[in-house]
């Protein structure tokens, strides 16, 4: 929170500090974008609060900012600690069950060893062999083995339930760490992992791969004119069109950052990717977005498309595609450069 104190102090010293106000508003938008659920607020509720405070900060109103951030930060810390404690408890339960099973096994083994020894002694002395006693020993052995089998099945079912629960928790955490909370697409981290995997597959098998970088035209103007809530609606609408057009199982779509999206298309040539990019641009152009108390909003996107070159690194491929995106925007936007 030290950065906030410093920034608020500068704003207090100079109420007409547009750079600091815009910086604070931008930071709040980013914090809201990646807010997660706590015991007090759902993720989308926290996001709305951050966006409201962002708009207040842009207008020079800071009164609610510090109390909210302190409360949200404390709640997030408690939430994370609670999740870690849950995982720790599950792990301990697994270890405890295994330990108890091992102890019981040792006791059973000692009993079985004793019973087998008794039978061995009786068999070695046939003149004093007591058939009734031998039958009782065999029955005891059978009961011990049956009980061990029943207990094994019970413990294994319990362990399976615990492991499945733990795996669901871990899978949910993994999904949350690789998913953009606003659009539901993958996030930048997941995109960079997919980028490296795609290059690895290309070098192993020679499969073609193409990349689309998509940028919403004049997005800042949308935010400035209609507010960030409408801006979020625009981002979600573009994400929906990307999912509709890039719908093959091998297509990987992500929100790379801000108003920029990225799609990696494996086993796809440049010609095929150009066709898909043109289709996507047309879909976005034709789609209207409802805005309260205003005419429906129409937006466009600029797209850069490139095919992975021989021995090209992830950074080189991305930079080359980004250059094509820049060319599309410089040429007038609402177009594809490949």
Last residue within a domain, chosen from 155, 178, 201: 178
Number of neighbouring beta carbons within 10 Å of residue 80: 12
Q: What is the pLDDT of residue 254?
A: 95
Taking only the tens place, the pLDDT of each residue in 272-313 is 999 999 999 999 999 999 888 788 899 999 999 999 998 899
Give mean pLDDT, residues 24-31: 79
Asked if 17 and 49 sit in the same domain, the reply is yes
Answer positive or negative: Cα dihedral of 78, 80, 84, 86: positive
Q: What is the pLDDT of residue 2?
A: 64
Q: What is the pLDDT of residue 215?
A: 96
State the residue for tokens 């096994």.
105
Helical segments of the chain, H only: 2-13, 18-33, 43-58, 65-124, 131-178, 188-205, 219-226, 228-245, 270-286, 314-330
Between 124 and 312, whose confidence is greater?
Answer: 312
Asked if 147 and 198 sit in the same domain, the reply is no
Asked if 195 and 319 sit in the same domain, the reply is yes
Domain for residue 313, yes or no? yes
Taking only the tens place, the pLDDT of each residue in 79-92 is 767 766 666 776 77
Of the pLDDT bands very low, low, confident and very high (cuts 50, 70, 90), residue 135 is confident
Asked if 200 and 333 sit in the same domain, the reply is yes
Residue 113: pLDDT over 80: no
Asked if 202 and 309 sit in the same domain, the reply is yes
> By C-alpha distance, which of 296, 316, 317, 314 is closest to 305?
317
Domain for residue 305, yes or no? yes
| Separation of alpha carbons 132 and 146, rounded Å | 21
- Longest Cα separation, the chain: 110
Residues facing 179 on adjacent strands? 186
Domain for residue 78, yes or no? no
Last residue within a domain, chosen from 178, 205, 237: 178
- Segment holding 34, helix H or strand E: none
Asked if 119 and 259 sit in the same domain, the reply is no
Active centre residues (catalytic): 259
Q: What is the pLDDT of residue 209?
A: 94
**Secondary structure (DSSP) of 146-215:** HHHHHHHHHHHHHHHHHHHHHHHHHHHHHHHHHB-TTT-SB-HHHHHHHHHHHHHHHHHH---EEEEEEE
Asked if 288 and 197 sit in the same domain, the reply is yes
Asked if 167 and 196 sit in the same domain, the reply is no
The residue segments making up the domain with residue 109 are 84-178
Q: Which of 107-116, 147-156, 163-172 has the highest mean pLDDT?
A: 147-156
Mean pLDDT of the chain: 82
Domain for residue 79, yes or no? no
Taking only the tens place, the pLDDT of each residue in 216-243 is 999 989 988 888 889 999 999 999 999 9
Taking only the tens place, the pLDDT of each residue in 253-268 is 999 888 999 999 999 9
| Separation of alpha carbons 28 and 24, rounded Å | 6
Domain count, the chain: 3
Six-digit token string for 277: 């990019």
Work out the percent of the chain whose per-residue pLDDT is above 90: 33
Q: What is the pLDDT of residue 278?
A: 96
Distance of CA 258 to the CA centre of its chain: 17
Asked if 224 and 134 sit in the same domain, the reply is no
| Separation of alpha carbons 187 and 192, rounded Å | 9
| Separation of alpha carbons 12 and 124, rounded Å | 98
Between 195 and 101, whose confidence is greater?
Answer: 195
Domain for residue 72, yes or no? no
278, 263 contact by CB (below 8 A) = no
Domain for residue 293, yes or no? yes
Which of 72-76, 78-82, 122-126, 142-146 has the weakest average pLDDT? Answer: 122-126
Give mean pLDDT, residues 8-29: 73
Last residue within a domain, chosen from 178, 201, 236: 178
Q: Which of 18-32, 43-57, 251-265 has the highest mean pLDDT?
A: 251-265
> By C-alpha distance, which of 247, 235, 96, 254 is closest to 187?
254
Q: What is the pLDDT of residue 252?
A: 94
Q: What is the pLDDT of residue 112?
A: 67
Asked if 13 and 33 sit in the same domain, the reply is yes
Asked if 203 and 331 sit in the same domain, the reply is yes
Taking only the tens place, the pLDDT of each residue in 158-217 is 777 767 776 776 666 666 678 888 898 998 888 998 999 999 888 888 889 999 999 999
Asked if 45 and 121 sit in the same domain, the reply is no
- Listed in sequence order, the residues at least 6 apart from 86 whose beta carbon sits closer than 8 Å to its beta carbon are 169
Domain for residue 75, yes or no? no
């Amino acid at each position: 929170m030290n950065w906030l104190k410093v920034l608020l102090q500068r704003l207090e010293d100079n109420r007409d500090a547009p750079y600091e106000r815009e910086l604070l508003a931008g930071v709040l938008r980013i914090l809201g974008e990646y807010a997660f659920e706590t015991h007090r607020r759902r993720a989308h509720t926290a996001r709305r609060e951050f966006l409201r405070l962002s708009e207040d900060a842009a207008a020079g109103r800071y009164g609610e900012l510090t109390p909210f951030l302190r409360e949200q930060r404390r709640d997030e810390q408690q939430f994370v600690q609670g999740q870690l404690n849950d995982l720790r408890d599950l792990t301990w339960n697994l270890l405890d069950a295994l330990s108890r099973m091992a102890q019981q096994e040792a006791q059973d083994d000692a009993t079985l060893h004793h019973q087998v020894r008794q039978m061995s002694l009786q068999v070695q002395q046939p003149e004093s062999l007591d058939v009734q006693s031998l039958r009782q020993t065999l029955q005891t052995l059978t009961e011990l083995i049956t009980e061990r089998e029943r207990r094994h099945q019970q413990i294994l079912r319990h362990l399976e339930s615990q492991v499945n629960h733990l795996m669901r928790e871990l899978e949910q955490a993994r999904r949350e760490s690789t998913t953009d909370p606003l659009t539901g697409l993958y996030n930048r981290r997941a995109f960079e992992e997919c980028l490296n995997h795609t290059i690895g597959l290309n070098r192993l098998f020679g499969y073609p791969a193409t990349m689309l970088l998509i940028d919403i035209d004049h997005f800042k103007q949308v935010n400035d004119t209609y507010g960030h809530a409408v801006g979020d609606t625009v981002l979600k609408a573009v994400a929906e069109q990307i999912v509709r057009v890039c719908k093959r199982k091998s297509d990987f779509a992500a929100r790379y950052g801000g108003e920029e999206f990225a799609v990696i298309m494996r086993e796809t040539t440049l010609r095929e990717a150009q066709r898909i990019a043109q289709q996507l641009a047309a879909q976005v152009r034709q789609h209207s977005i409802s805005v309260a108390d205003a005419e429906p909003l129409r937006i466009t996107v600029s797209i850069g498309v490139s095919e992975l070159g021989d021995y090209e690194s992830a950074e080189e491929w991305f930079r080359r595609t980004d250059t094509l995106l820049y060319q599309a925007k410089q040429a007038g936007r609402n177009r594809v450069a490949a």
